[in-house]
Each structure stands twice: as structure tokens, then as C-alpha cells.
Structure 1
């Protein structure tokens, strides 16, 4: 089983939790602005394609106390990074720290990168990484001296549905609109009126929900290029999404 974490807008945790349960997620843990859960590897493409209100899908590699750079280094070094990162892959690092002794982000990035290289060098028996392959973004979150390390499976945020050729900063994200629509219980026979529609986000998201169109079915994800995720899992998830659409909906 893999531990996943999906950030979301504050206030939509219950909506996202319900979505994750419907997909088969287990052992859910809800905190402000995020939902963590367990799932098989097949959950990775399905979560990216089917979740309406998640901002992205992260793999939670592990958590540990890190009050010093040495603790951060050893904590990252102990994680099974090789389960996903190959010897040719790129693995940039980003993150943030809140209310913690380790507050210098550049220094933390350097330590996490060094620990990852040390771990992978030992596993693959090489001293230098060309990093010419797929990109696997490592991110860290240090909150009150507890460091959590993630891999981002999504790439561009899940609010990028793929139905807009060009987009600017919007007053409401598609993921937030989808959450509001879910709370409004829009169904296939619903009538939705938005006289101040602007770019039509509420109307488009309502149509997606009413016609059961998977929000990520018309875009690509960074983890589709990972060797650790079989292409057959992506193909199966996309077929499931297509087969589930209500093509004869009256919406």
C-alpha cells in the first residue's frame, strides 16, 4: 500500500474525503486543507483523473522529527526513494518550513537533495546522476519540527482541467467551484443558472459533474512518464473514466 496526500481548499476536506472513499481510499486522515489515505499503485492515476476537489496528488514517503540538519539528512536518507526514482531520473527539491528550528528553505533543500543522492547512490551503485530522465519533484513540509517528504505525481495543479486553451488568474479555481457544486448537489437533471458567469467555470464544472466527466480525463500528468508506474494503469484509469460518462444526459 502507498500513502497518498491530497491538498485541497480549506472547507472542502469533507467533500474530498467522500470522493476518496468512493475511489476506494483507505485509512483516511483529515487535517486542515489536506486529506491523507492509503491505496494501491493503481490509485495514483485514478486519483489524478477522478478527483474533482483535490489540488494535486502527492505520495507521502514518510514523516520524522527534524530539529537539526543531521536529523533531516538521516530522515530523508532512510526513505525508500528508489521505489519511484530511477537512476536516470531528475529529482528537484522544493518545500517550506513553518514554526520550526530549520527555517532556511535553501539550506533545507540542499540537505534533502544531498540525502536523496546519498541514498540513491548506495542503491544504484553510482556516484553521479545525469538526471536526464523523467522528473520526480521531491517536496518537504516541516511543521513544528516534524518533516514530511512527498513526491508530486500531478505536475500542474489539478485545477488545470485541460478544457481551456488559454487561461489567466481566475477569481475562482475549478477545484473550488467543483466543491461548491458538489455541496449544491448538482445532478444530471439539474438546471444551473449563473447570470454572472464570467469565464463559465461554474457552468462547465456543473456539466462535468452532471455528466460524470472525470476532471482529469482530458489532460496529462507528470507521473505518466515515470517508469515506476506502468502505462497499463493509466490506460485502465482513462478507459474507466470514458466508460463512466453520461453521454445521453439532458443537462
Structure 2
């Protein structure tokens, strides 16, 4: 692999994956007893905890009450030790607020909020280790935690990134190294079965000729992640009451 090429002559990426392969995904539901729902998810070296509280009565100012549906409140934060650069990351900084807003946008599209009028659902995300795709791992972990909390959803909400290697080869589930060395990266949050896209964000512009195949790659990544999450949820349901819980792993 020469220069900033993200694919070797054998078609392999720096971590040994092929262009259409996800990083290893491991997930576990019910990791905490205090929240109504919780989950832990690893996507490659990105590790995320999610906790859900609610539905419950709206706390604080009543001006944000929605009389026909629930209010989804999302809070995203990164642990101080989540990256190699040890610096203090105050909760509520601009980047965290932006990701929190995007999380809320994605989850509101999947949760059946009309079943819980005048109530609030809190989703807390903590990134323990960051290695690219932090938002996507957060969405996927939040979906697991919502299911663990028993909150009805129209469909799983899954998220995945896609980029371009060597100018024209689409890559799925981009790592931090590939984000750093590569060009534009597309993030998609979607409901895989229906194909409805809730959020789409680009770090840089794509040439219009490349956008369809990059978007298709990201959506296929969402469908692959859906299969992993669905298996984890089904295994957790079978093992309800187990102390150790269950894991779903994609090798």
C-alpha cells in the first residue's frame, strides 16, 4: 500500500478488511440495572455505552411538553480517555450538542412517540473509545437500549459510514485512520427494511457520479448491521434473566 492509498494491490484495507466488509461488531443488552434500558456496543475499536430512561413525566420547564407525542431527549458525550489525546471534554460542547441533535433526529423517526403523549424519553450516550464512526455506533447502541427498555419502534434505526478509496472504490464502515487519510465520508442513518433515510451527512463534497454507489454502500452497511442487532436482541430475549447476558459477534 503506497502513499495515502486506502486499498492495497490485493484489495485489502489497512486493517485487513475488504472494501465491503464491516468492522467486527459486538453488542450486549441490559448491561445496567438502574436505567430502563441499556446496551454496550463495539464497532471495531469504537466502544459505546447507551442508557435509556423513560417514558416519564417531563422534568423542568413544561414549555417543551408535546401534547400529542413524546419528547426524545438525547445527550452525547465522550470520555476523557476515549482518544489518544488526553484532554478535558466538557459536556455540552458544540460538537457534542451537534451529535446529540443528530441522534435525536434519527431516533425520533423510529420511536412510536404518539403512544406516549406529554412524556419524555431520555437517551444517554457515552463514547468510551473512539476510532471512527462514533455517531453510527451511538445510533446502533441507542437502538439496542430502546429495545431493552421496551419502547415501541416502527423499525430498528441503524447507521453506517461509507467513503471512497483510490478515487472511485466505495468503502463501508470507515475507521478513524481511513477518515484521516481518505477524502469525503458519507454518514447515513436509516431504517434498513423500509429504506427510509433519517439522516445523511457528508464531511466533504462527492462528485455526483460517485454519490449513488457510496450511498448504496452505506445503506448496505445499515442492512448488515441490522442483521447483527436483530440477532443480539433475539438472543437476549431468549436469555432474559441470565446474569451474564448474550453477545452477537460478526467475525
TM-score (norm 2): 0.27
Larger radius of gyration: 1
TM-score (norm 1): 0.27
Q: Hey, which of these two has a bigger chunk of strand by percent?
A: 2
